[in-house]
Amino acid sequence: MAGTLHLIGVGPGDPDLITLKAAKILVSVNMVAFPQKPGIESLALKIAAPHLRKNIAQMPIILPMKTSRQPAKDAYDQAAMQIGEQLDAGISIAYLCEGDPFFYGSAMYLFSRLAHQYNVQIVPGISSLNAAAAAINRPLAARDEILKILPATLDDKTLLEELKNTEAAAIIKVGRHFDRVKKIIVQSGHAKGAMVIEFASQPHENIRKISAIDAQELSYFSIILCYRGQEMWGQKAWGEKDMSQ
């Protein structure tokens, strides 16, 4: 009988934020697979490490650091083949995904390649969006407000129009796009309520107002939360952490 593939969201960074279901699966599977950039420690594996059995078999999935899609497509094709071989041998595998598997997660690409042939189970995880909101003590949105999730990779015109027409927004994948995105946020009128959160829930978590940052780029693990709605957390009196100007 073929093994089961579990696509597990390990959360934003704090190992204590892994769900009970994920923790139970991690101690029961035969192998863990995880995304890894060449020469860089896998964050997903680091998060899950306290929950893994000692000496559990590991399968790193090396993902190229390139903007073009074809190298990544080839890497996922190869990974699906390797995982499939193990599943055929009856090996149960947990694929570790930062945040949530189906929220801009790498796991979705394995799902599309393997779910038609194998038993694939999805285990949701806490996303960076949730962790970032908790980090600044500010709700994302309420009532009839629209929350938009916007990749920083959007072109300038699209990003500006989306920001102009919403009370609340989360900008993800900021990284090297920060300088450009900051200018667009100012143009959109969202600068006053824009907070930048790096490494949410991790020991080196860093929270700043966007106006306090002059850097050209930030870590890939950065998110910008914008809010200019009518709820009380849009006012200075709300219980946000005290940030320098």
Q: For position 8, what pLDDT does the model report?
A: 99
- 49 lies in the same domain as 135: no
- 150 lies in the same domain as 230: yes
Mean pLDDT within 113-127: 98
Q: Which domain, by its residues, includes 174?
A: 129-234
Confidence of residue 44 (pLDDT cuts 50, 70, 90): very high
- 227 lies in the same domain as 138: yes
Give alpha helix (H) positions in the chain: 20-26, 43-48, 69-88, 107-114, 128-135, 156-164, 178-188
Does the pLDDT of residue 212 top 80, yes or no?
yes
The CATH number linked to 195 is 3.30.950.10
For the chain, what is the domain count?
A: 2
pLDDT tens-digit readout, 70-85: 988 999 999 999 999 9
- Give the residue among 172, 74, 182 at the shortest CA–CA distance from 128: 172
Q: For position 63, what pLDDT does the model report?
A: 87
Q: For position 239, what pLDDT does the model report?
A: 47
pLDDT tens-digit readout, 139-148: 998 888 899 9
Cα separation of 219 and 205, whole Å? 11
Q: Under DSSP, is residue 107 helix (H, G, I), strand (E, B) or coil?
A: helix
Of 63, 96, 126, at which residue does a domain stop?
Answer: 126
Does the pLDDT of residue 237 top 90, yes or no?
no
Cα separation of 61 and 95, whole Å? 10
- Residue 20: CA count within 13 A, CB half-sphere: 0
